[in-house]
Structure 1
Amino acid sequence: MSKAFASAGDMAEKAISFTQVGEGLYAFTAEGDPNSGVIIGDESVMVIEAQATPRLARKVVECIRSVTDKPISHLVLTHYHAVRVLGASAYGAPEIIMSDTARAMVVERGQEDWDSEFGRFPRLFQGYEEIPGLTWPTTTFSDTMTVYLGNRKVEIFTPGRAHTAGDAVVWVPDAGVMFTGDIVEYHSACYCGDGHFADWGKTLDAIAAYDPIAIAPGRGDALVGREMVASALANTRDFVESTYRPVQRVAARGGSLKEAWDAVRAECDPKFKDYAIYEHCLPFNVGRAYDEARGIDTPRIWTAERDQQMWEDLQG
């Protein structure tokens, strides 16, 4: 019997944690579900990642209200994926920030991504009827921008291609804390279906150069302390390289997608098979790695139909 499609079989409620990672800095996590971040400034609050629906976003707001009554003035979206952005309307009317490239990807593939992720993550899209439409930024930037929450300085920048071409991270210099989106994961599979394998390691190096003492990753527990940060960076690198290397070898000899799949399973299963969303991610990761290894630089757009076909070809 084939596995349930993507995360369609995962309907169990996840336990939420709201972990302080620095002074006035929090990571909202939920057992491998998409994380959000919170930065409390002198005058207002910045949220990183909106969640998939307004219903889920209200859980983030509830956690924020447990520690501050300051208004939410800014919402940073590290990339365009539906599970990160479609809950934005629950935060009122903050300034919504994306990189220029991330906004362009909403234009190019935002609706297709919404349709795709809706099928992959039915639990995350409970309450989808409230979503008013695609989420659009009110402010974009090319490389870097700075926001002041009163006296608190927040730097937002694009460290390089990794999870997507338009990834942004958020750095709080007074605390040495970074919010990385899905560039970094902790005991969760990296989703690489829209990724850039050859660039990902250099992007991790750019993050490490800031010497963060804590990171709120895209999925998994908050990373507090340099040792835990270094471990997560190394583990993320290992996951990405362990996926891409065997595919490169297969592609170099003209092997098939199914041969690439078998090679990745042999490399990754012993190390990562117990990670959150591992089986979900694997077909899309292998599909993208096979394309990149054959010279396709821009990830092909995933549609609900293409998702099902890739799943059937590899997990079926």
Structure 2
Amino acid sequence: MVNNTGVVVGDDGDLLLVDTTSTEARTRALLDACATLSDRHARLLVNTHHHGDHTFGNWMLPPTTTVVGHARCRDEVLAAGFLAAQVLAGPDYGRQELRPPDLTFDDRLVLHAGGRRVELIHLGPAHTTNDVVVWLPEERVLFAGDLCFAGGQPFLVEGSVAGYREALAGIRALRPAVLVPGHGPVQRGTEVPALLDDLDAYAAFVTGVAQDAHRAGRTPLQAALAHRDNPFATWQETERLVGNLHRAYAELDGAPLARLDLTAIWPEMTTFHGGPIPCHA
């Protein structure tokens, strides 16, 4: 629930904001930072997907700000409500109001922020069903949302393991010089393909474990525990392996986009973690 956001500043001081944050205090800090860049409110806010750490602060933007997202992002914001805050209890989330995207699209949308071209691209189900990358082609800067975690395991339970690898290939094809992940340090230069290689290798690992364990009749939790020691065990959020295996099993069962019950999977992730999963928002 501690995410990266972005601000695109146009030549005329126009602002485009990429995502908000999980808590009222963090989003207020974000807006205060924006105020040091321009005396204008953001005209556009793009949500890279529906998760609360990227959307809970939407309501704090003025009504004149248009919130943009994938068509399914709007649906999922409304369907999920404040579930993330209930599952990850502990932080002071402050005031909470749902504000889904006002303007939605299916595949691609081009925005113009004060002379800057900003391309929104849906790369298919991956982290979620509604992931969008924000691409500045002239600057070769990519805001990847949670398609990329730098230092943490991806979370694919609400998306697609197979689709995740396709989305990474789509990002690679853009050849970004700077990549802002949804979580973790900004990647530059050779760090970008190296991160994409690591994330793709992780998805291949999940696929291989799932295939073997599913064939052997083991549950996702049993499979995760049997592979606790793996090349990615030093990454943060290792308990996500359990959820990712649940998604991989659904794909093997022929239901690749079936909605999985996160409230039922979370206790298994907690078991793998060895206790309650902390939140530092």
Equivalent position amino acid for 1:105 in 2: E
Unaligned 5+ segments in structure 1 are 1-31
Question: Secondary structure of the residue that 2:104 maps to in structure 1?
Answer: strand
1:275 CA drift (Å): 2.2
Equivalent position amino acid for 1:232 in 2: L
1:119 CA drift (Å): 3.5
The equivalent residue for 1:242 is 205
What TM-score does the superposition give when structure 1 sets the normalisation length?
0.79
- Aligned counterpart for 2:157 among listed residues 193, 196, 209: 193
Provide Cα deviations, 1:79-112, integer angstroms capped at 9, x if missing partner.
11122111112222311001112223334x322x
Asked if 1:300 is matched to 2:259, the reply is yes
CA distance in 2, matches of 1:150, 1:256: 52
Equivalent position amino acid for 1:310 in 2: E
Provide Cα deviations, 1:258-296, integer angstroms capped at 9, x if missing partner.
432234424x3xx333323333x2332232223223222
CA distance in 2, matches of 1:246, 1:240: 10
1:135 CA drift (Å): 2.3
Equivalence map 1:177-216=2 (5 Å): 177-216=141-180
Asked if 1:131 is matched to 2:96, the reply is yes
CA distance in 1, matches of 2:52, 2:69: 13
Provide Cα deviations, 1:152-207, integer angstroms capped at 9, x if missing partner.
11111102221011111111112011111011111112112212001111111111
- Aligned counterpart for 1:121 among listed residues 88, 92, 105: 88
Alignment coverage as a number of residue pairs:
272
The equivalent residue for 1:98 is 69
The equivalent residue for 1:29 is none
- Aligned counterpart for 1:229 among listed residues 184, 189, 192: 192
Distance 1:302 1:214, change over 3 A: same
CA distance in 1, matches of 2:123, 2:188: 21
The equivalent residue for 2:277 is none
Unaligned 5+ segments in structure 2 are 275-281
User: Bigger relative contact order, structure 1 or 2, given CA contacts below 8 A and separation 6+?
Assistant: 1
Question: Secondary structure of the residue that 2:174 maps to in structure 1?
Answer: coil
1:57 CA drift (Å): 0.9
- Residues 56 and 96, structure 2, Cα contact 8 Å, conserved in 1: yes
Question: Secondary structure of the residue that 2:243 maps to in structure 1?
Answer: helix
CA distance in 2, matches of 1:33, 1:141: 27
Distance 1:120 1:235, change over 3 A: farther
1:300 CA drift (Å): 2.7
Distance 1:45 1:138, change over 3 A: same
Asked if 1:50 is matched to 2:16, the reply is no
- Aligned counterpart for 2:33 among listed residues 59, 63, 75: 63
- Residues 171 and 177, structure 1, Cα contact 8 Å, conserved in 2: yes
The equivalent residue for 1:40 is 9
What TM-score does the superposition give when structure 2 sets the normalisation length?
0.88
1:208 CA drift (Å): 1.0
The equivalent residue for 1:147 is 111
Equivalent position amino acid for 1:101 in 2: R
Distance 1:68 1:278, change over 3 A: farther
Root-mean-square deviation (Å)? 2.1
Asked if 1:89 is matched to 2:59, the reply is yes
